[in-house]
């Protein structure tokens, strides 16, 4: 009896898992199939990839397509480089600034520490595009439109609050004995920070760096407003997929998207063990 019950449970659970796996994979497989097929219309893409008929025609076109003949680089590569610049600047600044704030909040005395923490918490609650109308107007007035550096400044300002809490959550669990001992030995603030705190915080700074680097790649809303003539990858993807735009090339969208998604997916799968950092950052709050 017990065995039969177990068997039924097993079958049910495995069936359920199989169904979820199929549902989880079908859109992804379809994307792969579309990227490697050589049909012109999305409607003709086979659902089950026919590996023997695969071609790289779409990839070739993605990397050579220019919307204007005068352009130095193909659209995709150009937008890729622009986004890369944004991502690198964002990463460097986010890691530096938010670690500094995080250190200040865990390792040093502070007047008005609680109110400022609460303030940062409040900042974290509203996304940076809340001020998007104003950002658009300000960028126009000061001629910052189409400038990737200023775009990355917005990402930086938006990322600092959350990362401050991540750093704080991490540093709280690192014992203070080391830096206290250094202070007793007469080390200065700067020495303690560079020689002791930064090495201790290296893992969390790496985590922040990876996240900050991945952020700008697929953000559409801000660049679409602030970079009208300097396309990022997300804007390229959107343009290729938009029925109202010329050219409307969903096949190229699928290909470009796959090319971008694969490295990100690999990083994400690798980063899955750090998913609980989000929890510790949350636990900071709760």
Partner 1 sequence: MDSLKKLVNLLLGYFRIFITYLLTKVQGFFLGIYRFSRKLSSLIKTFFVSLYRAAKNHPGSFKKGLSSFFLMGLGQFRNRQWYKGIPFLGIFLIFIIAEFVSSDYIYAPSEISRYPAEDTLYFFRDYGGIITRGVWGFFTLGALTRGDVYRGHIVDTQDFAYSWLEADNSRTLMGEGVIVIVLLAVLMAFWIISIRDAYKTDLKVRSGMEIERFKDWIRRVWDQYFAYIIVVPAGIAILMFTLIPFFFSFLVSFTNYDARISLQSDLIQWHGFTTFANIFGADPAWRDFFLKVLRWTVFYAVVSSVTVYVLGFIQALIIESKHIRFKKAWRLILILPWAVPGMISLLVFSNIFGADHGLMNRLLADTGLTDQVRSVLQFVGLVGREGVGNIQWFTHPDNANLARFLILMVNLWMGFPYFMLLITGVLGAIPGNLYEAADIDGGSAFQKFRYITLPWVIRATAPVIITTFTFNFNNFGAIFFLTGGGPRYWRDDIPATLTGIAPGQTDILISWIYRMAFLSGDHDAYNLAAAYSVLVFFLVATFAIYYLAKLKTFWEED
**Binders of partner 1 in range 70-89 (CB under 8 A):** none
Residues 97-156 that bind partner 1 (CB under 8 A): 97-98, 100-101, 103-106, 108-110, 114, 117-118, 121-123, 125-138, 140-142, 153-154, 156
d(CA 217, CA 233): 7
- Measured from the CB of residue 205, what is the shortest distance to partner 1 in angstroms? 15
- Measured from the CB of residue 188, what is the shortest distance to partner 1 in angstroms? 8
The single residue among 25, 73, 149, 181 that binds partner 1, judged by CB under 8 A, is: 25
Whether omega before 247 lies within 30 degrees of 0, making that bond cis, reads yes
- Measured from the CB of residue 91, what is the shortest distance to partner 1 in angstroms? 14
Identify which of residues 56 and 265 has a Cβ nearer to partner 1 in the complex: 265
- Measured from the CB of residue 155, what is the shortest distance to partner 1 in angstroms? 9
Q: Which stretch binds partner 1 (CB under 8 A): 16-24, 54-62, 67-75, 201-209?
A: 16-24
- Measured from the CB of residue 70, what is the shortest distance to partner 1 in angstroms? 27
Tell me if 107 sits within 8 A of 198, measured CB to CB.
no
Binding-site size, partner 1 (CB under 8 A): 102
Torsion (CA) 175, 177, 179, 183 in degrees, nearest 10: 160
The single residue among 86, 160, 208, 252 that binds partner 1, judged by CB under 8 A, is: 160
By CB atoms closer than 10 A (0-12, 13-18, 19+), residue 22 is: exposed
All residues at 6 or more sequence positions from 231 whose CB lies less than 8 Å from its CB, including other chains = 75, 78, 79, 82, 223, 239
- Contact flag: residue 35 with partner 1 (CB under 8 A): no
d(CA 211, CA 209): 5
The single residue among 2, 4, 41, 185 that binds partner 1, judged by CB under 8 A, is: 41
- Contact flag: residue 221 with partner 1 (CB under 8 A): yes
Identify which of residues 81 and 280 has a Cβ nearer to partner 1 in the complex: 280
Residues 184-203 that bind partner 1 (CB under 8 A): 188-189, 193
Q: How many helices (H) and strands (E) does the chain have?
A: 13, 0
Tell me if 132 sits within 8 A of 222, measured CB to CB.
yes
How many CB atoms sit inside 10 A of residue 137's CB?
Answer: 11
Residues 227-266 that bind partner 1 (CB under 8 A): 234, 237-238, 241, 250, 253-254, 257, 260-261, 264-265
What tokens does 16 get?
């359920």
Of 19, 52, 14, residue with least CA distance to 33: 52
d(CA 155, CA 218): 12
Residues 46-65 that bind partner 1 (CB under 8 A): 47
Identify which of residues 71 and 267 has a Cβ nearer to partner 1 in the complex: 267
């Amino acid at each position: 009896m017990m065995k039969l019950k177990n068997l039924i449970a097993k079958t049910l659970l495995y069936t359920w898992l199989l169904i979820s796996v199929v549902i989880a994979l079908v859109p992804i497989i379809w994307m792969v199939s579309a990227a490697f097929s050589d049909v012109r219309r999305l409607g003709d893409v086979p659902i089950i990839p026919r590996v023997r008929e695969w071609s790289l025609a779409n990839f070739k076109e993605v990397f050579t397509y220019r919307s204007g003949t005068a352009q130095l680089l193909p659209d995709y590569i150009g937008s890729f480089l622009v986004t890369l610049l944004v991502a690198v600047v964002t990463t460097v600044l986010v890691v530096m600034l938010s670690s500094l704030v995080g250190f200040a909040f865990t390792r040093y005395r502070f007047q008005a520490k609680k109110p400022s923490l609460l303030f940062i918490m409040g900042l974290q609650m509203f996304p940076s595009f809340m001020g998007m109308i104003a950002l658009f107007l300000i960028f126009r007035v000061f001629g910052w439109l189409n400038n990737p550096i200023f775009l990355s400044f917005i990402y930086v300002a938006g990322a600092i609050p959350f990362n401050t809490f991540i750093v704080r959550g991490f540093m709280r669990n690192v014992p203070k004995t080391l830096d206290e001992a250094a202070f007793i030995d007469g080390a200065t603030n700067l020495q303690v920070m560079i020689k002791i705190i930064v090495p201790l915080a290296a893992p969390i700074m790496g985590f922040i760096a990876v996240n900050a680097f991945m952020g700008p790649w697929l953000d559409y809303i801000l660049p679409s407003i602030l970079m009208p003539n300097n396309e990022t990858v997300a804007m390229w993807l959107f343009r290729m997929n938009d029925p109202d735009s010329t050219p409307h090339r969903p096949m190229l969208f699928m290909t470009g998207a796959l090319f971008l998604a694969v490295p990100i997916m690999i990083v994400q799968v690798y980063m899955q063990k750090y998913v609980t950092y989000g929890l510790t950052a949350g636990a900071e709050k709760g």
